Amino acid sequence: MMHKLKRRVSAPVLAGIFLLGCCGAGQAQSVARQPGGVTVQTWATLTDQSMLLALQEGNRFAAARASLPLNIDVDSSKRYQEIVGFGANITDASAWLIQNRMSAQQRSALMEDLFGKAPGIGLSFTRLTIGASDFSRRHYTLDDVPAGQTDYPLAGFSIDPMRADVLPVLKSAMAINPKLQVMASPWSAPAWMKTGDSLIKGTLRPQAYGVFARYLEKFVDAMEAEGVPMFALTLQNEPHFEPDDYPGMRLESATRARVIAENLGPLLAKRAKPVRILDWDHNWDVPQAPLEVLADSRARPYVAGVAWHCYAGDVAAQSMVHDAHPDKETYFTECSGGDWKPNWQETLPWYMRNLIVGTTRGWARGVLLWNIALDEKHGPHSGGCTDCRGVVTIDSRTGAVTRNFDYYALAHASRFVRQGARRIESTTGVDGLETVAFQNSDDNSIALIVVNSAADSRRFSVSFDGESFEHTMPGASVATFVWSTVVL
């Protein structure tokens, strides 16, 4: 009879014993412990597309320390942030395509693939837009009134614009993965709350600080009434950017701090299940902006963490802000690929180094790419990016799905790193190899993600708990290694 103890037993002692092994998507399988050590599942993607998240056989831990000069040491005794999940934004455009340009069978297959367990990729985190973004078919908010009018009681507030497409897609995802965590961000307050009386450009009028906070609270209430609890909100998407042709709103750090401290923070803190407030929701290049909000003694207690985008700066900004405020959480909430970087060999390793490895080594609990789906014409959209790429492309004429390298970048993490996992220590940045490692909480399995950004192959060893295996990765490739730890 097997008894769980707080120790790991070495491979030689356990030869022939059965253990639980992670098959990458949350389901355990029984595999035999062979005399050579623990079997390692290796899932690889090559940028020539000859292998796409493909299972490779042959790796097995040996009861010996690593002998290769290039070694990745994985240490589960050094534990860092708990993982919320990986995913992408369910924008208006994405939801409309899924609902209106796919057959029921196509739609079901795609949703199971994105949000389901293996062979799905197990996305467990998503973000919604509160009102329109550039990836909407029209510009709107959830409380629009005729020009010259106001609605301070919010009598006209309604989430009806979300009912046709966004809510059905979201509820489908939640039915597949009930643990899906949902956050949301506004691109603009209603025009009547803003200077300029327009969804495009402008800032929030001081007299509208309170009503804007209540507008966001009403969104949370309405979504909860639909069975969609909100995990987190940001006050404003990209608050230092005023786009020319789609909704946006500038909110300087002092304004965000005041609205959070005096209005939104106290409102959300009264809830039975408080909703996280994340500041910034913008690029890596201005870390002083969230630091200014966190320096405000009134706002800081209400701010759970900081959200980041990829479009300028360096991922190292996440660690800098975390080091200044280690009690605050980190999330990565938006990055889009597009036709400006179409080459797999260049872009997939960049995605992995920065958006998967870099963000999580930079303390991100959750990682989100931008549109979960766009069509063959990079839309639909109303202003903004004309050559963005979705995680998948849906052919608007046939409903056929193309999985882009954004999909495979996410999948190398989302399929193997489950909610509640902890990032653990791993050697990184040696001879072109970048790594990040996690230990799942449900079965203690280890998932090690390795990116070879070099043009040529690398042979290396992986060491864990006094044992090791060897592996060769081709140039410009990605691999996720999964193995079980054994506790008796």
Burial class of residue 4 in the structure, from the number of CB atoms within 10 Å of its CB (0-12 exposed, 13-18 middle, 19+ buried): exposed
CATH number, domain 12-80+424-483: 2.60.40.1180
Burial class of residue 374 in the structure, from the number of CB atoms within 10 Å of its CB (0-12 exposed, 13-18 middle, 19+ buried): buried
- Following DSSP, what letter does each residue of 312-338 receive, concatenated? SS-THHHHHHHHH-TTSEEEEEE--EE
Q: What is the pLDDT of residue 34?
A: 42
pLDDT digits (tens, 9 = 90+) for 364-390: 999 999 999 999 999 999 999 999 999
Structure tokens at 20: 């639980």
453-471 mean pLDDT: 95
Q: What is the pLDDT of residue 51?
A: 97
Q: Do residues 300 and 260 touch, judged by C-beta distance below 8 A?
A: no
Tell me the pairing of strands 181-186 and 125-130.
Answer: parallel
270-298 mean pLDDT: 97
pLDDT at 11 over 70: no
pLDDT at 13 over 60: no
At 486, the pLDDT band (50, 70, 90 cuts) reads low
Q: What is the pLDDT of residue 488?
A: 38
Omega before 119 cis (within 30°)? yes
Q: What is the pLDDT of residue 384?
A: 96
Q: What is the pLDDT of residue 485?
A: 85
Structure tokens at 367: 């990682």
pLDDT at 231 over 60: yes
pLDDT at 434 over 90: yes
Domains in the chain: boundaries = 12-80+424-483, 84-416
Q: Which residue has the tokens 């969104």?
A: 219
CATH tag for 84-416 (out of 3.40.50.2020, 3.40.430.10, 1.10.10.10, 3.20.20.80): 3.20.20.80
Q: For every residue of the chain, which 3-state class applies, written as one string?
A: CCCCCCCCCCCHHHCCCEEEEECCCCCEEEEECECCECECEEEEEECCCCCCCEEECCCECECCCCCCCCEEEEEEEEEEEECCEEEEECCHHHHHHHHHCCCHHHHHHHHHHHHCCCCCCCCCEEEEEECCCCCCCCCCCCCCCCCCCCCCCCCCCCCHHHCCCHHHHHHHHHHHCCCCEEEEEECCCCHHHECCCCCCCCEECHHHHHHHHHHHHHHHHHHHHCCCCCCEEECCCCCCCCCCCCCCCECCHHHHHHHHHHHHHHHHHCCCCCCEEEEEEEECCCCHHHHHHHCCCCCHHHCCEEEEECCCCCCHHHHHHHHHCCCCEEEEEECCEECCCCCHHHHHHHHHHHHHHHHHHCCEEEEEEEECEEECCCCCCCCCCCCEECCEEECCCCCCEEECHHHHHHHHHHCCCCCCCEEEEECCCECCEEEEEEECCCCCCEEEEEEECCCCCEEEEEEECCEEEEEEECCCEEEEEEECCCCC
Inter-CA distances, 361 with 117, 292, 355, 424, 435, Å:
25, 23, 10, 9, 9
Q: What is the pLDDT of residue 229?
A: 97
Strands (E) across 175-323 are located at: 181-186, 232-234, 276-283, 305-309
Name the percent of the chain lying above pLDDT 70. Answer: 92
pLDDT digits (tens, 9 = 90+) for 165-201: 999 999 999 999 999 999 999 999 999 999 999 999 9
SS3 222: helix
Q: What is the pLDDT of residue 37?
A: 79
pLDDT at 24 over 90: no
Q: What is the pLDDT of residue 28?
A: 30
pLDDT digits (tens, 9 = 90+) for 401-429: 999 999 999 999 999 999 999 999 999 99
CB atoms within 10 A of CB 325: 17
Amino acid identity, position 176: I
pLDDT at 479 over 60: yes
* pLDDT: which is higher, 1 or 139: 139
CB atoms within 10 A of CB 6: 5
CA pair distance 246, 471, nearest whole angstrom: 49
Structure tokens at 8: 């790991």
* pLDDT: which is higher, 140 or 22: 140
Q: Do residues 410 and 88 touch, judged by C-beta distance below 8 A?
A: yes
Exposed e or buried b per residue across 71-100, where buried means at least 16 C-beta atoms within 10 angstroms of its C-beta: bbbbebeeebbebbbbbbbbbbbbbbbbbe
Q: What is the pLDDT of residue 3?
A: 28
